[in-house]
Amino acid sequence: MKRTGYLYDLRYLLHDTGPYHPECAERLQAIHRGIETGGLLPLVKEISAVKADMRWIEAVHEPGYIRRFEELCLSGHRTFDFPDNQMCPETYEIAFLAAGGVIEAVRRVMAGEIDNAFCVVRPPGHHAEVNQAMGFCYFNNIAIAARYLQEEWGVARIGIFDFDVHHGNGTQHVFEQDPTVFYYSCHEHPTFAFPGTGRSFEKGVGPGLGTTRNWPVLPGQGDDEYRKLIETDLWPAFDAFKPEVVLVSCGFDAHEEDDMSDIRLTTAGYSYVMEQIVAIAEKYAGGRIVSVLEGGYCLARLPELARNHVQILLGKDIPA
């Protein structure tokens, strides 16, 4: 059995997005319930949130953006940049805890204290641009973690696999010119889904040409399409790139019962996807995976999806 870190913190529940918002605290509670009732809590290494050092936030975001976020948030504004981005006065602080928690999980993996980790954080991050909040995201947690890996641990090749049903525009834009970070995203086709980027012709820019890949999935597609993209596209891409660490933008919103998308990935399909990522990480990255929660809004299905996710990270020989 692997030593799997599990980042969960009650303070993440305090990010209040107001009534009827899909990105709500109940999502995290549902995920935690799944881990708990699945009997996995005694098996994982629990991690508490740590506030991120400003240095790491600034490794991705412009200082002016961070100040604007702080000012608007602390002065009681309920939205930031887009009406989608609902916040409360605590949001700024909690965004630091989300990014910092992921950094802490990455640190433990790199220090050899744990093998891999699942970070159940809010607010999510992969839509956040260098200077703009977008799609419920403020700080780009996964991009910040990748910068931390580069600068603090000197990791030369980082593979990011983003299976949230929406394209991670923020992450792509941060790394599109960086040949040392491979950003691979599969998501509902941008003509039919937010945010409208992630078309197959977006393959990176300048020196980063070739280390960005997008596989848009048409509405109604599911397990078969994901199997195809992983076997015929993701594996060859990562076989060639050989990531030293694998980061995962984990969105459960491609599930067939999640009404944020028209994609029909089943619970079993999600397990298949994660098993393949684990296999890639085993082959190239010494098993080092840090999975970071992005979307996933079907409260009824989140417990089982998260439980399977952690079970796959724990791997074989889980005590009954």
Partner 1 sequence: MFVHRSMTPRVITIGKEASLLEAKDLMRNKNIRHLPVVDEQQKLIGIITDRDIRGAMPLENVRLPDFCKKMEVASQLKVGDVMTPDPITIGPHDTIEDALLMFEQKKVGAFPVIDAEGRLKGIISVRDILRAFTNVLGIGQPGTLLCILVEEKVGQLKKIVDAITEEGISFGSVLVARYWDENKRAVFPYLLTNNVVRVKQKLKALGFELLDPMEWYIDQLPRHERDG
Q: Does the footprint of partner 1 cover residue 297 (CB under 8 A)? A: yes
Question: Interface residues for partner 1 in 85-124 (CB under 8 A)?
Answer: none
User: DSSP letters along 194-215, please?
Assistant: TTS---TT----GGGTTSEEEE
Task: Tell me if 140 sits within 8 A of 172, measured CB to CB.
Answer: no
Looking at the Cβ atoms of 191 and 232, the one nearer to partner 1 is: 191
Q: Does the footprint of partner 1 cover residue 63 (CB under 8 A)? A: no
As given in the structure block, the two tokens for residue 252 are: 């459960």
Number of residues that bind partner 1 (CB under 8 A): 26
User: 168 Cβ partners below 8 Å, 6+ apart?
Assistant: 126, 127, 142, 162, 183, 185, 187, 198, 249, 294
Tell me which of 127, 166, 189, 255 is the catalytic residue: 127
Give the Cα separation of 40 and 310 in Å (integer).
8
Q: Does the footprint of partner 1 cover residue 134 (CB under 8 A)? A: yes
Give the Cα separation of 53 and 286 in Å (integer).
27
Site string for partner 1, 65-84 (x = CB under 8 A): -----------------xxx
Q: Does the footprint of partner 1 cover residue 218 (CB under 8 A)? A: yes
Task: Tell me if 101 sits within 8 A of 121, measured CB to CB.
Answer: yes
Q: What dihedral angle (degrees, nearest 10) is formed by the CA atoms of 82, 103, 186, 205?
A: 80
As given in the structure block, the two tokens for residue 151 are: 């600068």
Determine whether 187 is an active site residue: no
Task: Tell me if 169 sits within 8 A of 198, measured CB to CB.
Answer: yes
Looking at the Cβ atoms of 9 and 164, the one nearer to partner 1 is: 164
Question: Interface residues for partner 1 in 9-38 (CB under 8 A)?
Answer: 20-22
List the one residue from 39, 63, 112, 196 that touches partner 1 (CB under 8 A).
196
CB of 152 to partner 1, least distance (A): 31
CB of 116 to partner 1, least distance (A): 29
Binding residues for partner 1 (CB under 8 A): 20-22, 82-84, 127, 134-136, 166, 169, 191-197, 218-220, 259-260, 262, 297
Report the catalytic residues.
Answer: 127
